[in-house]
Amino acid sequence: MSMDLLERIQDPHDLRRLQPEQLPQLAQQLRQFILDTVSRTGGHLSSNLGTVELTVALHYVFDTPHDRLVWDVGHQTYAHKILTGRREQMGTLRQLNGLSGFPRREESPYDSFGTAHSSTSISAALGMALAAQHKGERRKVVAVIGDGAMTGGMAFEALNNAGVHPEADLLVVLNDNDMSISAPVGALNRYLARLLSGRFYANARDAAKQVLKVAPPPLFELARRLEEHAKGLVAPGTLFEEFGFDYVGPIDGHDLHALIPTLENLRERTGPRLLHVVTKKGYGYKLAEADPITYHGPGRFNPAEGIKPPAVAPKPTYAQVFGQWLCDMARRDERLVAITPAMCEGSGLVEFTKQFPERYHDVGIAEQHAVTFAAGLACEGLKPVVAIYSTFLQRAYDQVIHDVAIQHLPVLFAIDRAGVVGADGATHTGAFDIPALRCLPGFTVMAPADELECRQMLSTGFALDGPAAVRYPRGAGTGAHVDRSTLNALPLGRAQLRRESQARAGHRIAILTFGPVLHAALQAAEALDASVINMRFVKPLDVDMLRRMALGHDALVTVEEGVVQGGAGAACLEALQGLGLQIPVLNLGLPDAWLEHGDPAQIMAACGLDATGLLRSIRARFPQAGGEEPEPRRRAAND
């Protein structure tokens, strides 16, 4: 396909020089460019194909970047990036030192607000609109939010606040594509159904029928069709108008001839407005339209053939190991219920939903509710398991403390994507869960080194009569054999000696590892002739093993795939102080910096958490340690 129009666009000023009749052709070229790019780099596809016309229309009508444009979540902004001067860099998408897959303020002045988590756009946009009013600046502010993100409680808090600020020059564009990542759930559509079945609507309809029942049949049929059409036009607006918004829509989000004049009209108005547009995820690429979940975040693929299953079956991911354990434990214990905040596929829950649909609860994009809901279930004798990403658990921290930990309720948190996540970058890195959870009294925190330990630790946490968490990384592990016929738990708070040093006095190093970094440590230990301990438990810490290592070695090294500040290594230092033992200690983990996006193996190497990096750091701190360079071992790529 020719890209003649797209190649003329270096920024939105060039876009605005085009005639309206040229824009559909531009949109077609833009969609093809996105498909070609993502098929080579991997990334978010369905969501970006669905917002092409909307992106073109917004930049055509509004004076960006002077007018602010805030994208909720931001995984649908590839067209936005292409139109705002980053087309030539799209080949570096989500790669180390390349373009982010989400909006970033430092990347472009057109990225007015950094986003990657759901339901934040209206709050940020309202702040910008009121700041402009406070400073006396004439500026339009637009928030684009999906119907999935609109289910998040924060979005409704922002709507509620915006409705009492008639001076706010704020436009909310509700991009209604009938799904977020997983299928949407919740009561919003049910509310609309209730509205349509309410007394006022029913009385009005019945009165109309009485008037029309003596009318000729064609007139009665016309009225019936108008009624059905009115349902879609009137009902959604009632909800938003109650919040104080001027509602317009719904309109076809792929029809530029409808979008542009509507946006032009709304641009000339002030106060909180909401435009409801209806789009289709994967629009323009039949395979993605038919299966938008599979094409939500694909790796590299051939667009002509679509995504094909790998020729060789990959090793199971940690999420899959969790999903298998969940089904196996549910068969044994009928008290088990599973909860997820809108991440069914990503968290490995698909099979559970088929086998135990009555014990599965997708609460939508509502992490706070997910945790307190679990607490309520636990109060009544059930055993809830909350499947949640590390980066999303942050959004419910108060509920973890107030509703679960203080009440010492038996809620098990299966924390996926703990540590480095690769291409999604800083916003999704699971770096902070260890410091956040280990400081909570009575909370058990575990970090498996492989898939088998992950299963064992899930059983361990489930058996406890109090809160527990198992943190595991994204993607596949080492390929450790998992026996699904057993649900054995581990001894609580017991570490495992994996290698014992034979070095002479003065050269004895012990490496204490938490999680899958064990395998890089074992490689480095061969070169150093160091002891290696798989600590397994962040809390309760195996203090006896720590004492033994401190008394039998000349230095200790702790390694974890989380931040060093307040992390598992810090827990070891605190324990050593409590034991009255003084020994040199080197704490290694993720740096005190926001991690960039890129291949996970590259990120781990940059953080010094591969075998070569561990060896280099240990030798730099303890020159008495010798040995050779370890053979490089590439970490499994993200799925």
Q: Which H, E and C letters describe 2-50, residue by residue? A: CCCCHHHCCCHHHHCCCCHHHHHHHHHHHHHHHHHHHHHHCCCCHHHHC
Distance CA 306, CA 308 (A): 6
Q: Model confidence at 638, in pLDDT bands (50, 70, 90)?
A: very low
380 annotated active-site: no
> Angle at Cα 175 formed by Cα 98 and Cα 189, nearest 5°?
135
281 annotated active-site: yes
- The structural domains of the chain, ordered by start, are 6-184+236-290 (3.40.50.970), 318-471 (3.40.50.970), 496-621 (3.40.50.920)
Q: Model confidence at 53, in pLDDT bands (50, 70, 90)?
A: very high
Contact 436, 394 (CB under 8 A): yes
Q: Model confidence at 611, in pLDDT bands (50, 70, 90)?
A: very high
User: Averaged over 518-534, what is the pLDDT?
Assistant: 97
Closest to 55 measured CA to CA, from 41, 69, 42, 68: 69
Whether 607 shows a pLDDT value over 50: the answer reads: yes
Distance CA 558, CA 618 (A): 10
User: Averaged over 473-493, what is the pLDDT?
Assistant: 92
Q: What is the pLDDT of residue 186?
A: 47
Torsion of CA 168, 169, 174, 175, to 10 degrees: -140
- 91 forms bridges with which residues in the sheet? none
Backbone CA torsion sign across 114, 115, 121, 123: negative
Q: What DSSP state is assigned to residue 107?
A: T
Q: What is the pLDDT of residue 371?
A: 97
Residues ≥6 apart with Cβ < 8 Å to 397: 436
Q: What is the pLDDT of residue 197?
A: 33
Which of 104, 273, 395, 536 is the catalytic position? Answer: 395
* pLDDT tens, position by position, 105-121: 999 999 999 999 999 99
For residue 13, give the amino acid letter: H
Contact 124, 161 (CB under 8 A): no
Q: What is the pLDDT of residue 219?
A: 55
What pairing do the DSSP bridges indicate for beta strands 531-534 and 496-499?
A: antiparallel
Residues ≥6 apart with Cβ < 8 Å to 560: 434, 447, 513, 514, 515, 517, 567, 568, 569, 588, 589, 590
Tokens found for residue 262: 């509507």
Q: What is the pLDDT of residue 182?
A: 45
Ranking 22-26, 129-133, 226-230, 479-483 by mean pLDDT, the lowest is 226-230
Q: What is the pLDDT of residue 364?
A: 87
Q: What is the pLDDT of residue 233?
A: 45
User: Averaged over 140-169, what is the pLDDT?
Assistant: 92
Q: What is the pLDDT of residue 624?
A: 83
Q: Model confidence at 147, in pLDDT bands (50, 70, 90)?
A: confident
Q: Model confidence at 613, in pLDDT bands (50, 70, 90)?
A: very high
* Residue the block writes with tokens 């303890």: 622
Distance CA 297, CA 292 (A): 9
| DSSP three-state, residue 126 | helix
Tokens found for residue 347: 């968290």
- 512 forms bridges with which residues in the sheet? 533, 558
465 by Cβ neighbours in 10 Å (0-12 / 13-18 / 19+) ranks as exposed
* pLDDT tens, position by position, 530-575: 999 999 999 999 999 999 999 999 999 999 999 999 999 999 999 9
Whether 17 shows a pLDDT value over 90: the answer reads: yes
Contact 85, 96 (CB under 8 A): no
Whether 351 shows a pLDDT value over 50: the answer reads: yes
* pLDDT tens, position by position, 259-317: 999 999 999 999 999 999 999 999 999 999 999 989 999 999 999 999 998 877 788 89
561 annotated active-site: no
Which of 87, 94, 281, 536 is the catalytic position? Answer: 281
Whether 194 shows a pLDDT value over 60: the answer reads: no
Q: Model confidence at 71, in pLDDT bands (50, 70, 90)?
A: very high
* pLDDT tens, position by position, 433-452: 999 999 999 999 999 999 99
User: pTM here?
Assistant: 0.86
| End-to-end C-alpha distance for the chain, whole angstroms | 31
Q: CA 120 → CA 99, 127, 144, 179, 309, distances in Å?
A: 22, 11, 10, 18, 36
Q: Which residue has the higher pLDDT, 495 or 192?
A: 495
Ranking 98-107, 125-134, 234-243, 354-363 by mean pLDDT, the lowest is 234-243
Percent of the chain with pLDDT strictly greater than 90: 78
Percent of the chain with pLDDT strictly greater than 70: 89
Which of 367, 453, 560, 561 is the catalytic position? Answer: 367
Distance CA 94, CA 599 (A): 8
User: Averaged over 455-473, what is the pLDDT?
Assistant: 97
The edge-to-edge listing of strands for the beta sheet with 496-499 is 496-499, 531-534, 509-514, 555-563, 585-590
